[in-house]
Structure 1
Amino acid sequence: MGPDRRGFLDHRRLLDRRERRWRSSDRLDGDRRRPPLSLVVALVLACVSLMVLDQQAGEDSPVEGARRAVGEVVGPVEVGASAALRPFVAVPDWFRSHDSLRNELDDLEAENARLRNDARRADYDRNRLEEYDGLTAAASDLGHSLVPARVVGLGASQSFSNTVTIDAGSDAGLRADMTVLNNDGLVGRILRVTGSTATVLLLVDAESVVGGRIGRSLEVGFLHGRGAIGGDARLDLELVDESVVPAEGDSVVTWGSDGGAPYVSGVPVGRVTTVFSSLRDSSQRAVIDPYVDFGALDVVGVVVPAGTGSDRAVIEADGTMR
């Protein structure tokens, strides 16, 4: 065996010895890192014992002091972390709450708007209901059937300066020369009709002439309009018997026309406010304040014959509706 062969074998044996030492060292290190099984069992038993003892002892638990110490250290940290995270955690709830409140606010605003609108309309609806009730009473008092209608136009664009348009016409059984009244008294007469509307000449028009009767004396005369509407609306009454002197405050009703056209009898017109006497011809003239406010006309009734066909409800002479 030559020198080179011996050197190689010596080197190989040296490497084998080192490898055995390394393996032996790894086993020792592993044994040192791995706790003995008896120690693990002892720790588990100790933990179980502490838990049982802590549960049975309650406030007198031997670990209460340690728990309190840990709480004093960890508690402030938890409070700080919670305060720091609360805004971020609350963001989804804020959006949900904000949307809910926005919807509730929208609902409340809509409800308030409806209530305000109802409050604004309350007087209007109440007045309209009173006018319908007044028409029912008028039909019963006069003994005539009435077709209710509403004033929908006041007319400079029409043939006469003191006319109104109502929302009922021939389809409701109306025709020219029918008496128009409301719950206060005489309004006027129908001039012309269409299928769904009618034009009414007002009592106060300058071209209007109505036969009237003084309520107390039953003396008759003729009422002439002055052409004014509103607070200045007045009528002039000229009596047929010029010797009769009407009294202030006397009421005036319609005299009535043959066949009830254009005016039925007994409809209230107004009251006497002033009487003028002419010494030269011994005549009397009375000024009449009409009962109807012609500047605030709304609901009116048109006198129709009993049994008239109509496309709307009719107030019968006995106050019932058909």
Structure 2
Amino acid sequence: MRDTKESRLLLVLLIVVAFALITVDIRGGENSPVQGARRAAAAAFGPVENGVAGAVDPVGNAIAAVRDSNTRHNRITTLEHENAKLKRELGTGDANRAKAQELDKILRTAGAGQYGVKGAQVVAIGAAQGFSWTVTIDIGSNDGIKRDMTVLNGDGLVGRVTTVGPSTSTVLLANDPDFTVGTRLEKTNELGFATGQGDRPLSVQLLNTKANVKPGDRMVTFGSSKDKPFVPGVPVGKVVRVDPSAGNLTRTVYVQPFVGFTKLDVVGVVVQAPRKDPRDTVLPPKPKVKPTPTVTVTVTPSAGTGQNQGTGQDQGNGQGQGNGQGTADGGGVLPDPNAGQNANAGH
């Protein structure tokens, strides 16, 4: 259509008529005069709209599915990340609980011996400065740690500090062959020197060759001059084997350490020694031995046991009669071979 004055006037008239019809339709509501025309248009164009929608909807649905798929993928990825995070937190929680329990044991040990300790965590294990059994802990000189301090955990003696850095320290473990500590036997107070043997029990040389020692006896540290490198009373281990003295100047016993050196995690460095020797108070109470039950046997007499009973009777009516018989509990009557009858008559 060409752009002329008449066409513009027609367009304006159509717009005016359209607005008028819309106004009448809105004001009329359900009684609108154009309601019939709308229904007719719906009846005429409805099938066409459905056909077009049927043709277009698969494409729209596919596009929506792709969009929703991306959203679902993002949600799945988010959930996977959240699950992994929860698993890590759960693992961390278990590890923290284990550390808290170990630290609690260390505090109980320190309380029993009146040691002032500073907690630390093992961060590395391996050779250092030529030592074959060492660990590295995460505290050093900045935390007040010095060389030749005693290291323990909730079970007993771990070792001693050998090298100190600003934030880490090296600990020589008690099972190292270069490690030696003075020991004291529980109750008897027999003294000796324990030396590490790697993954084997400690070798302890007792000074008294006639010392009364047996498997199961326990040892603690004897202590050092000015409490360095060892404070007294720290549990060392229990005797598992005793060698005969055989005329030697010392007696050798073998002690299984209380500490598991291959599974160290949290330890405590003794930064303050006790005012007095705790002796055996740091050792845990020995388990009570349950008494062996005694068996009482009762013998019941059998039914075949017999009992004899004799009866004698005399009558003084000019006639004497004696009867004897044996009776058995089993129900039988046994005759008495000496039994007899005598009768005398006198007129």
TM-score band, normalised by shorter chain: 0.5 to 0.7
Partner of 2:260: 293
Q: Give yes or no for contact 1:216–1:251 (8 Å, CA) kept in 2.
A: no
Residue aligned with 2:79, SS: helix
Aligned runs of 1:24-39 on 2, under 5 Å? none
Moved over 4 A (4+): 73-82
Shift of 1:282: 8.3
Query: Residue in 2 aligned with 1:268?
Result: 235
Establish whether residue 100 from structure 1 lines up as the match of residue 71 from structure 2: yes
Deviations 1:157-192 (A, max 9, x none): 423222222221111111111101111110111112
Instruction: Give the letter for the 1:90 counterpart.
Output: N
Name the CA distance, whole Å, in 1 between partners of 2:163 and 2:85: 40
SS at match of 1:90: helix
TM-score normalised over the length of structure 2:
0.61
What are the residue-to-residue correspondences of 1:112-131 with 2, within 5 Å?
112-131=83-102
1:97-176 aligned at under 5 Å gives the runs 97-176=68-147
1:234 aligns with 2:201: yes
Give distance in 2, aligned partners of 1:155 and 1:87. Answer: 67
Work out whether residues 152 and 166 of structure 1, in 8 Å CA contact, stay in contact via their aligned partners in 2: yes
Show the counterpart of 1:215.
186
The answer to whether the 8 A contact 2:239-2:255 is kept is yes
Greater relative CO, 1 or 2 (CA 8 Å, sep 6+): 1
* Whole-angstrom distance in 2 between the partners of 1:182 and 1:121: 21
- Closer, same or farther in 2 for the Cα pair 1:304/1:157, shift >3 Å? closer
Distance 2:115 2:186 in 1: 20
Amino acid aligned to 1:108 = L
- For the Cα contact (< 8 Å) 2:218–2:238, is it kept in 1? yes
Counterpart in 1 of 2:150?
179
Distance 1:157 1:199, change over 3 A: closer
Q: Would the aligned equivalents of 2:181 and 2:193 in 1 still touch at CA under 8 Å?
A: yes
| Structure with greater helix share of residues | 1
More off after superposition, 114-123 vs 100-109? 114-123
1:4-38 CA distance string (max 9 Å, x none): xxxxxxxxxxxxxxxxxxxxxxxxxxxxxxxxxxx
Once the two structures are superposed, what CA deviation does each residue of 1:229-276 show, in whole Å capped at 9, x if it has no partner? Answer: xxx342011212211131211221111112211111111111111111
What does residue 214 of structure 2 align with?
Answer: 247
Q: 2:230 aligned with 1:259, yes or no?
A: no
Amino acid at match of 1:241: N
Is the 2:120–2:137 Cα contact (8 Å) retained in structure 1? yes
* 137-146 vs 117-126, greater mean Cα deviation: 117-126
- What is the aligned-residue RMSD (CA, Å)? 3.1
Partner of 1:41: none
Q: Is the 8 A contact 1:216 1:250 kept in 2?
A: no
Would the alpha carbon gap of residues 157 and 190 (structure 1) be closer, same or farther in structure 2, given more than 3 Å must change?
closer
Encode CA deviations 1:196-230: one digit per residue, 9 max, x unaligned.
2222111111121111112232222111111x1xx
Equivalent residues, number: 241
**Counterpart for residue 17 of structure 1:** none
Q: CA deviation at 1:74?
A: 9.2
AA aligned opposite 1:195: P
Instruction: Tell me what 2:320 maps to.
Output: none
Letter in 2 for 1:135: I
Q: Distance in 1 between matches of 2:261 and 2:210?
A: 32
- Is the CA contact (8 Å cut-off) linking 2:115 and 2:270 kept in structure 1? yes
Aligned to 1:190: 161
Unaligned runs of 5+ in 2: 1-27, 274-347
Name the SS for the 2:76 alignment partner: helix
Distance 1:286 1:105, change over 3 A: same
